A and B are shown apart, each in its own frame.
Chain A
Amino acid sequence: MRNSIWFLKGLRNGKKTERFPAADPGEPPLWPSVLEGKGEAACPTNALESGEWNAGKCIACRRCVPQYLPTGNQKTYSLSQVAPRLLSRSFYLYQVDSGTCGACNAELLSILSPQYDASRLNIFLTNTPRHADALILMGVYTEGMDEVISKAYEAMPDPKLIIALGTCAISGGVIGKAPVLSSKAVVEIQGCPPSPYTILEAIVEAKGGVK
């Protein structure tokens, strides 16, 4: 009885899932997004050097405005490898928080909300590294988590990927240095924090697209 009442309430709410990444993002944030501009600007993390913008160092602090302006483009990720074909059906992620402020964790969990609904794209979070295809690494290096992260990675079955999520995990940003295992990341999802759109699209690409 209880379940049927909630089911009806759910139906009444209608369909909320957007078509992204097949369609454009519905309401992308301005910060972080791809920055465009030119010239010198004082950047606290050296994300701007010789007129080049390094998204992996950017913390979206807005100090380079107006020389550089956000475009709203959410493609702030890079891949040096995609998952082997056998992983492209369903993709299980094990997240590890090395030293975050909590916002990267929240944005990762946001891809499960109805607007994004990662499960329709066969992307799932798992509670154990033993079932994971990819390790999602978030936050800066911390002494206490270093060994924990290595052990989680060792416990994962092959083939396995490392995804560095957020500026802290890629470069350390303004807080510290990147975790040791981040040097093995084949996917970098840039942003402080990256938006759920960026996270979702990067993971879809990492798993080799939608089947």
Chain B
Amino acid sequence: MRYYKTTRGNGRYIGRTASFTVYSDSLDSPITVGERVTEAAPGELVFNYGPSTGGMVESARIAITTPGEIIRSIRVDPTYKMRKLKITGLALDDAFLQIERINGYHSSSYQAAFLKAAEDALLPDPNQSLDEMLVLQMELERIRSHMNVMERLCEPAGFGVPYHQAAQLREEVSRLISSIFGHRYFFGVHSASHSTVNFNTGILKQSGDIERRFSALFESLQDSKIFVNRLQNTGKIDKHWLVGPAARAAGYRYDARIDSPSLDYRKYGLTPYIEEGRDAFARFLVRGNEIYSSFAIVNSIITDGSPECAKISDMHGSGTGASRVESPQGDLFCYLSLKNDKVEKIEFCSPSTSNIIAFEQSMPGNVFTDFHFNWESFGIWISEAGVSIE
């Protein structure tokens, strides 16, 4: 392991895996967290939402304790749809098929975390061209993911036109991804036999056009008093352990793109965009502004870069590696141990696990109608929080 030391906690707290407490610069022994129980006081009721409801994109049970309009506490149970992925004992390329599908919406982030951990375990030096490919994938993924959060924020507000405009832009980004990588969710991009990507000359024009129309939508939403009022002061949270846009919306300059050595972002001159509001509106502003910086990185790679796919078939041997990358929703950590070309141990720490706790802690004191806005503002994906990896 080049970047991670197994010492006492060094750096900022990222989260937990089955075996470790993960900090930005080190791994420590695991900490146990007590069971979270929801009990209603006299005059209160526990209202269960889900696990299957059309109002949510994925299955999760949400228990809301309330004496009426105000929410006193809220608990999210992501385990109903718990998939059991069996990755231990698989060769790297077979393991990769499952890694891509832990959270398909953020497949590139998982691909990057896994490939960089494998590289850390097996290869003497990082591959700069692979880094460019992974950065390109992840920044396109970030643009789409942030647009998706905006679209989801417009829906409960009943804002039909901006909701459809955001959905249209998100679909255009999916088509752009498909035209470059052959698949709308980047599956199979690093496949040994067909790892071709298509950089045609129209990509820059297309991405410029999407960015211009996104900018008009983003500005219109900021000018809408009703939209701003729904999000301002909703779901306020300020904790040192926040990750991703939630952390940056609370004034923390946390971003694995600048504070993790796993993927090389130095040449893009990225400065994290910070807000101080700590609420759903600040998270919206962070995401919107990050779309601009992601477009700038994408354009610079398409213009000047020489991105290359991974050669997974060339990765052989035994070793232990770790990596941390900035997925659209925050730090994604991967620990990987390989023995004779096979996965011996693999663990992830996902941003949605941290964001679920942040959502729970930011909800008390808010009213019922804030629930959907606040949930969407964290961009949580249950598939990466409720998954067991063996």
The finding on whether chains A and B are genuine partners in a shared complex, rather than unrelated, reads yes
A: number of interface residues (CB 8 Å): 63
Known: A102-B383, A143-B82, A144-B51. A112 touches B185 (CB 8 A): no
Within 8 A of B (CB), among A168-197: 174-176, 192-193, 195-196
B: number of interface residues (CB 8 Å): 56
B7 lies within 8 A of chain A by Cβ: no
Asked if A192 and B171 sit within 8 Å, CB to CB, the answer is no
Among B24-32, B65-73, B93-101, the stretch that binds chain A is: B93-101
Known: A29-B184, A62-B188, A174-B101. A148 touches B59 (CB 8 A): yes
Q: Which residues of B contact A128 (CB under 8 A)?
A: 54
B179 lies within 8 A of chain A by Cβ: yes
Question: What would 20 more interface pairs be, CB under 8 Å, given A30-B178, A126-B54?
Answer: A13-B165, A29-B178, A44-B97, A62-B182, A66-B194, A97-B58, A97-B81, A100-B81, A102-B383, A103-B107, A106-B148, A114-B164, A115-B171, A116-B171, A125-B54, A144-B82, A175-B85, A176-B84, A192-B187, A193-B185
Nearest opposing residue in chain A for B167, CB measure: A113
Within 8 A of A (CB), among B170-208: 170-171, 174-175, 178-179, 182-185, 187-188, 191-194
**Complex CA distance for A32 and B178, rounded to whole angstroms:** 10
Q: Interface of A with B (CB < 8 Å)?
A: 2, 6-7, 9-10, 13, 16, 27, 29-32, 44, 59-66, 70, 94-107, 109-110, 112-116, 125-128, 139-140, 142-145, 148-149, 152, 174-176, 192-193, 195-196
Asked if A62 and B194 sit within 8 Å, CB to CB, the answer is yes
Asked if B51 and A145 sit within 8 Å, CB to CB, the answer is yes
**Complex CA distance for A116 and B168, rounded to whole angstroms:** 9
Q: Which residues of B contact A6 (CB under 8 A)?
A: 159-162, 220
Asked if A101 and B183 sit within 8 Å, CB to CB, the answer is no
Asked if A145 and B164 sit within 8 Å, CB to CB, the answer is no
**Complex CA distance for A100 and B58, rounded to whole angstroms:** 8
